[in-house]
Amino acid sequence: MDLDQIFVIAKQQVLAWLTGAGASVGVVQVISSLINIAAVLAVFLTLFALISVIERKVLARIQNRYGPNRVGPFGLLQPVADGIKMLIKEDIVPRRADAIVHFIAPVVMCAAATLTLCVIPYGRNMTPVAIDGGVLLFFAAGAPAELAVFMAGWGSNNKYSMLGAMRAIAQMVSYELPLLLAALPVVMITGSLSPDEIVAAQGHYSFGTVPHWFAVTPWGAVAFLLFFIAGLVESNRTPFDLPEGESEIVAGHMMEYSGFKYALFFMAEYFGMFAVSGLGVTLFLGGWTSPVSWLEWIPSYIWFFLKLSVLLLLFLWIRGTLPRLRMDQVMSFAWKFMLPMAFVCIVAAAVWHYAGRGLIGWVWSLAIVVVAYLPLTKLLWTGKQFAVRQYRFAE
């Protein structure tokens, strides 16, 4: 238990020393908050550096080529070289751009992504901001991301930047509804918006080996899949990276950015990916709980970051596997399939709950999901769109 709570105990000892040294309650609270902020930034800035080189190596492996292998042993110092390059690279601002909006956009984007990381429980008693409405704060704190994207496109005073911003806002708004609705069944079942209470509700086991994670229920599995897909869109990840369609609009809303400002956008994208994955682990995969009861001796934060790593690797695998979708396909998928299925998950979760959360509820929940899935897939049938072309005027 001491190993599990080693970071909590260390923080408490620092605060106890400050209290004993005569620091006021207000000062102690401020320092406590600063310690939490410093810990979150240290962990995720390190993870950002690691994932940047790991992603390049994973994609290189998938594409049967070499990844970074020159800077440092096995190329592990490549993030340091990239960081130095971004810091010393010239910051170019277009002459006719709105300099203030152009400057503020990456700051707002990065701040919104960082705030979402503060409400996730990373281990037992390890939630940086533990409040009852943590899930609500997560979505509220992430909302300015759309505004930041628009500010980047508008402030750049470039038609391609503005086009990329509009495409980004269209898909982010469209998929934010399924993202919210996919999380709603979990809130309904647990009766709480607190991430800590949601994790506690999944901290039980059947027969000592089967965890009570919401992802192992029919409605939870579908909701988790919807949440994960919507998270891909919110993070602008392949196959939904339309705002940055290099073959169409160069770099989208980031076209007129360079140097450290571009690095902030890049970092915010990864922070958003960390946050969405972390919330997915919290809502559907038991958070920091162990997958089996006889492994609970392993520190809780290790379980959380193992689950987080699996989801992040899945993000990378998808990027190296799937091609980019068209804009009409992305919008059609959101409104014709994702949104209706999110409502179906709410109904299936309610039936599962009122049927006693047992085998009968499991079967009824599965039946509702399957019955709704079959007709919805017909709406997405693309046979006519991909039929063999006939060139009537060709000789």
Q: Which amino acid is at 105?
A: A
pLDDT of residue 213: 93
Instruction: Write out 348-383 in H/E/C secondary structure.
Output: HHHHHHHCCCCHHHHHHHHHHHHHHHHHHHHHCCCC
Q: Using DSSP, state whether 248 is helix, strand or coil.
A: helix
Q: What is the mean pLDDT of residues 1-18?
A: 86
And the tokens for 259? 């140097």
Mean pLDDT of the chain, nearest integer:
88
Q: Where are the domains of the chain?
A: 1-88, 97-378
What is the number of helices (H) and of strands (E) in the chain?
15, 2
What percentage of the chain exceeds 70 in pLDDT? 94
pLDDT of residue 393: 61
d(CA 272, CA 111): 10
The total of other beta-carbon atoms located within 10 Å of residue 106's CB is: 23
For residue 94, CA distances in Å to 90, 91, 97 come to 13, 10, 5
For residues 287 and 277, the answer to whether their CB atoms sit within 8 Å is no
Band of residue 186 on the pLDDT scale cut at 50, 70, 90: very high
Q: Kindly tell me if the per-residue pLDDT of 41 is higher than 80.
A: yes
Q: 362's torsion region: left (phi>0), alpha (psi -120 to 50) or beta?
A: alpha
d(CA 216, CA 347): 17
Band of residue 116 on the pLDDT scale cut at 50, 70, 90: very high
Nearby residues of 108 by Cβ (< 8 Å), 6 or more positions away: 144, 147, 148, 151
The more confidently predicted of residues 391 and 182 is: 182
Strand (E) or helix (H) holding 205: strand 205-206
Q: Kindly tell me if the per-residue pLDDT of 261 is higher than 70.
A: yes
The more confidently predicted of residues 387 and 241 is: 241
pLDDT 10s digits, 334-353: 998 999 999 999 999 999 99
Q: Kindly tell me if the per-residue pLDDT of 81 is higher than 80.
A: yes
166-170: Cβ within 8 A, 24+ apart: 167/242, 167/243, 167/245, 167/249, 167/252, 167/327, 168/236, 168/242, 168/243, 168/252, 168/253, 170/327, 170/331
Q: Kindly tell me if the per-residue pLDDT of 20 is higher than 70.
A: yes
Band of residue 300 on the pLDDT scale cut at 50, 70, 90: very high
pLDDT of residue 172: 87
Band of residue 205 on the pLDDT scale cut at 50, 70, 90: confident
d(CA 260, CA 84): 10
Q: Kindly tell me if the per-residue pLDDT of 394 is higher than 80.
A: no
d(CA 125, CA 83): 33
pLDDT of residue 384: 55
Q: Using DSSP, state whether 210 is helix, strand or coil.
A: strand
- Enter the pTM of the model: 0.91
Q: Kindly tell me if the per-residue pLDDT of 73 is higher than 60.
A: yes
